[in-house]
Amino acid sequence: MFKKIIIIISLFLFIGALTPYSFAKDSSSSKGTNSDINCKDVSSSENSGGFYVILEEPIGGPDAKYCFRVCSILDPNKPGTKVNKCKIQDSCDTAGDKDLGKTSCQRIQVIKADSGSDLIYKYVRMIYLWAVGTIGIISVFTLVYSGIGISMAGGDSGKIDNYKNRIMQSLTGLVILFLSGLILYTINPTFFV
């Protein structure tokens, strides 16, 4: 009975994991992707439609375009230094900027959105993918920990039942997690693209 349940759950996990990717479209042709972001265009006032959002603490994900903010460090003893000079560029290289002096370099994430709803969509997508990864890792660790606990239980039926219950709860959580991806794909087929 227990083996049948594990086989059925594994089948659901396999189907749930592959379904969003098997029907995925080519993302290189989609409009407004972050692959067409030039870091130097982010700080300029002229952009080609849409707007840019800068995340100081990068989230990551498929919509991640990383740039670097290079800023001059103000010297309060030097006269005439009242304003920070910052540039957004592809790397932390400051060799060509002699007027910056001492600099700080911070990695930032840039998101290009065509509209406010597009920005919300990209945020929800990044948060969902982060949550899926985190929950998946926790579930796998719970499965491994419970398996080791069963092998070390020494025949104590109470401990074995407790660890089997944890395994079933973890597998149920994984099935719900991957079925949520299937539901999201059914609602919006471009969610994972």
Residue 28 has pLDDT above 60, yes or no: no
Distance, CA of 21 to CA of 192 (rounded, Å)? 7
**DSSP per residue, 75-117:** -TTSTT--S--EEEESSS--TT-TTS-SEEEEEEEEEEESSHH
Domain boundary among 86, 113, 140: 113
**Which among 106, 124, 115 is positioned nearest to 53, based on CA atoms?**
115
Do 121 and 150 reside in the same domain of the chain?
yes
Residues making up the chain, counted from first to last = 193
Do 133 and 101 reside in the same domain of the chain?
no
The predicted structure's pLDDT at residue 60: 74
With respect to residue 193, please indicate whether it lies within any of the assigned structural domains: no
Domain that residue 58 falls in: 34-113
More confident residue, 76 or 122: 122
Do 109 and 72 reside in the same domain of the chain?
yes
Q: Read off the pLDDT band of 20 (50, 70, 90).
A: very low
Query: Span 143-159, mean pLDDT?
Result: 90
Residue 86 has pLDDT above 90, yes or no: no
More confident residue, 26 or 95: 95
Distance, CA of 10 to CA of 12 (rounded, Å)? 5
The predicted structure's pLDDT at residue 22: 38
**Which among 59, 45, 148, 140 is positioned nearest to 88, based on CA atoms?**
45
pTM: 0.60
